[in-house]
Structure 1
Amino acid sequence: MSTAPEGATPGFLVWRLSMKWRVAVDRATAPLGLTHAQYSLMASLYGMQRGGERPSQRRLADHTGLEPLYVSKLARSLESAGLLERTRDPRDPRAVQLALTEEGRERTGQAIEVVQGLLEQLLAPLGGLDSTRTREFKRELATLLDTPLDPANDHPKEQP
């Protein structure tokens, strides 16, 4: 039986699912000393580094969907904890490049394993990570994420 209220809007369900996920990741990564936001930043950076990239804070903000100011705050906190390095970009002295430290890579690897287990639990009702339903769900989520939202255009213009 669903815990979603009857007649719930898609927006409400997206919000509830995102909150459920955030809380679960927060709880799962807490023993590793990470919050959901820190995990998201570090896991994204981990993947980018594995791909040979040393992104700027701005690039990482764009990748994660987090506000640049928030990424800067998280990066400073993670740097203080010895999990991340911040250095000036030699090509652009205004930009700050980010990289995980050795300890940061180890902790992120552990966190990824924990969160992967949560993801498997979440997607089990759709047939698991590799199911056709999960692939379709992922495509639909990507479509929604790629749809621009402009609050200024949500009301029809008044006619003179």
Structure 2
Amino acid sequence: MSKGSPGPTPGFLVWRLANKWRVAVDRALAPLGLTHAQYSLVASLYGMQRDGERPSQRRLADHTGLEALYVSKLARALESAGLIGRTRDPRDPRAVQLALTEQGEAVTQQAVAAVQDLLQQLLEPLGGLDAPRTRAFTDELITLLDAPLAPSAPNDESTRRRTP
């Protein structure tokens, strides 16, 4: 919280909500052997495959907002678990394409259902998943996510406290 602020800052609240959500998803998916990060990968892959896409790890990293190196690590773990297959892209030998296995698709469908139930619970105070307040909240989150943030250097003039 910022000094002199009457309550928590929006940044603090976003951080708290993100942590609350991550913990709840991790707990809900533990029986399926998935973490929240792994879920983000398989659920995104599931949706992309339904749309006829066989994405590369890079494309999936861009889609999820996860670092490419982290996606690679997650993909190897999911491959070891038998949930996804990784193959070289015939058009670009440097690229690795990902696809859910049959087992991966079945687990992902169960995971999506569990997360949808959890999402309904989280959004109940706003009227539920399809409520106007939820749609407005979603629009606001998209606006914030689409706004670029330029990292500032520690010695950048704009980051130094000014004293009178």
* Closer, same or farther: CA 157–131 of 1 in aligned 2, 3 Å: closer
Deviation of 1:126 after TM superposition, in Å, equals: 0.4
Distance 2:34 2:128 in 1: 26
Distance 2:33 2:45 in 1: 17
Distance 1:22 1:129 in 2: 18
Task: Identify the residue that residue 100 of structure 1 maps to in structure 2.
Answer: 100
Deviation of 1:94 after TM superposition, in Å, equals: 0.4
Distance 1:124 1:155 in 2: 44
Deviation of 1:147 after TM superposition, in Å, equals: 0.5
Is the CA contact 2:88–2:97 (under 8 Å) kept in the aligned structure 1?
yes
Answer yes or no: is 1:127 the counterpart of 2:90: no
Deviation of 1:156 after TM superposition, in Å, equals: 2.6
Distance 2:140 2:159 in 1: 30
Q: Could you list the per-position Cα deviations for residues 37-90 of structure 1 after superposition, in whole angstroms to 9, with x for gaps in the alignment? A: 101100000000001000000000000010000000000000011000000001
Q: When the two structures are aligned, how many residues end up with a matched partner?
A: 154
* Closer, same or farther: CA 92–136 of 1 in aligned 2, 3 Å: same
Answer yes or no: is 1:113 the counterpart of 2:113: yes
Distance 1:33 1:155 in 2: 47
Distance 1:135 1:41 in 2: 24
Overall identity of the aligned pairs, in %:
76
Distance 1:156 1:36 in 2: 36
Q: 5+ unaligned residues in a row in structure 2: which ranges?
A: 1-5
Is the CA contact 2:152–2:159 (under 8 Å) kept in the aligned structure 1?
no
Distance 1:157 1:82 in 2: 47
SS at match of 2:110: helix
Aligned letter for 1:30? A
Task: Identify the residue that residue 156 of structure 1 maps to in structure 2.
Answer: 158
SS at match of 1:94: strand
Distance 2:31 2:45 in 1: 20
Q: 5+ unaligned residues in a row in structure 1: which ranges?
A: 1-5
Distance 2:128 2:76 in 1: 37
Over 6 Å off, 4+ runs: none
Aligned letter for 1:24? A
Aligned letter for 1:76? R
Aligned letter for 1:33? G
Deviation of 1:117 after TM superposition, in Å, equals: 0.4
* Closer, same or farther: CA 147–42 of 1 in aligned 2, 3 Å: same
Distance 1:117 1:87 in 2: 33
Relative to the length of structure 1, the TM-score reads 0.92
